[in-house]
Structure 1
Amino acid sequence: MDILIKKARIAEGAELRDIAIDNGKIVGIEANIEAEAGRVIEANGKVLIPGLVESHLHLDKALIADRLPNKSGTLQEAIRVTGQLKPTFTKQDIRDRASRTLDMLVKNGTTHLRTHSEFDPSQGFTGLEVILELREEYKNLIDIQVVAFPQEGIFKAPGTDKMMYEAMEMGCDIVGGVPYNDISAKEHIDFVFELAKKYNKPIDLHQDFKDDAEGTTIDYVAEKTIAEGFVGRVSVGHLTSIAAMPREQLLPIIEKMNEAQISVMSLPCTDLHLGARNDAYNVRRTVTPIRALRDGGVNMCIATNNIRNAFTPYGNGDLMLTAMIAIPVGHLGGADDLHTVLPMITTNPAKALDLKGYGIAVGNNADLVLLDSESVTNAIIDVPTRLFVIKSGKVTVETVRTVKVNA
Structure 2
Amino acid sequence: MDLILKDARLAGDATRRVDIGIDGGTIVAIEPDLGADGETLDLGGRFVTPGFVETHIHLDKSCILGRCASKKGDLTEAISEVARVKGDFTPEDVYARGRKTVEKAILQGTTHMRTHLEVDPTIELRSLEGILQLIDDYRWAIDIEICVFPQEGMLNNPGTEELMVEAMKRGAKVVGAAPYTDTDPHGQIDHVFAIAREFDADIDMHLDFGTDTSSFDLDYVCRLAERTGRGGRTAIGHVTKLAYAAPDVLAAAARRLADAGVALTVLPSTDLFLMGRDRTEGRTRGVAHAHELLHHGVNCSLSTNNVLNPFTPFGDCSLIRMANLNANICHVGAASDIVECFNMVTTRSAKLMNIAGYGLEVGNSADLAVLDCADPHTAVSELAPVLYAFKRGRRTMTRPVAELHRPAGHA
TM-score bucket (shorter structure): over 0.9
Please give the per-residue CA displacement for 1:66-125, whole angstroms capped at 9, x wherever unaligned.
Answer: 211211110000001110010011222111100111110001100000000111101211
Contact 1:264-1:300 at 8 Å conserved across structures:
yes
**Would you say how many aligned residue pairs link Structure 1 and Structure 2?**
406
Give the Å deviation of 1:404: 2.4
Q: Is 1:147 aligned with 2:161? A: no
Write the distance in 1 (CA, Å) between the matches of 2:14 and 2:95.
45
The 3 A distance-change label for structure 1 pair 68 and 376 is: closer
| Residue of structure 1 equivalent to 2:28 | 27
Residues 1:219 and 2:219 aligned together:
yes
Conserved 8 A contact 1:239-1:266: yes
Does 1:205 pair with 2:210? no
The equivalences for 1:240-259 within 5 A come to 240-259=240-259
- Please tell me whether the aligned partners of residues 153 and 181 of structure 1 are also in contact (alpha carbons under 8 angstroms): yes
Deviations 1:154-208 (A, max 9, x none): 0121111211211111111001111111011110110000110111100000011
Q: For residue 318 of structure 2, what is the aligned residue in structure 1?
A: 318
Structure 1 unpaired stretches of 5+: none
Contact 1:223-1:256 at 8 Å conserved across structures: no
Aligned to 2:158: 158
Q: Over aligned residues, Cα RMSD in angstroms?
A: 1.2
User: What's the secondary structure of 1:325's corresponding residue?
Assistant: helix
1:229 is matched with: 229
TM-score by length of 2: 0.96
Partner letter of residue 78 of structure 1?
Answer: A
Aligned to 1:17: 18
Equivalent in the alignment of 1:51: 51
Distance 1:214 1:166 in 2: 36
CA distance in 1, matches of 2:402, 2:285: 39
Unmatched tracts of structure 2, length 5 or more: none
Between the aligned partners of 2:398 and 2:124, the Cα distance in structure 1 is 39
Distance in 2 of aligned mates of 1:177 and 1:260 = 18
Q: CA separation in 2, counterparts of 1:41 and 1:230?
A: 43
Distance 1:182 1:90 in 2: 26
Report SS of the residue matched to 1:403.
Answer: coil
Q: Deviations over 1:339-381 (max 9, x none)?
A: 2111000000100110011000000100001111123321112
Give the C-alpha shift of residue 338 in structure 1.
Answer: 1.4
d(CA) in 2 for partners of 1:223, 1:66: 42
Q: Deviations over 1:256-302 (max 9, x none)?
A: 11011111110010000000101222211101121221111100100
- Kept in 1, the 8 Å contact 2:62–2:98? The answer is yes
Looking at structure 1, the residues matched to 269 and 110 of structure 2 have their Cα atoms a distance apart, in angstroms, of 18
Work out the CA distance in 2 between the residues paired with 1:385 and 1:29. 23
Indicate conservation of the 8 Å contact 1:111/1:367, yes or no: yes
Q: Is the 8 A contact 2:387 2:401 kept in 1?
A: no
Q: How does 1:162-173 map to 2 (within 5 A)?
A: 162-173=162-173
The Cα of 1:249 is off from its aligned counterpart by 2.2
What does residue 75 of structure 2 align with?
75
**Structure 1 consecutive aligned stretches of length 4 or more whose deviation exceeds 4 Å:** none
- The amino acid across from 1:281 in the alignment is E
TM-score by length of 1: 0.97
Q: Cα distance, 1:242 vs. partner?
A: 1.9
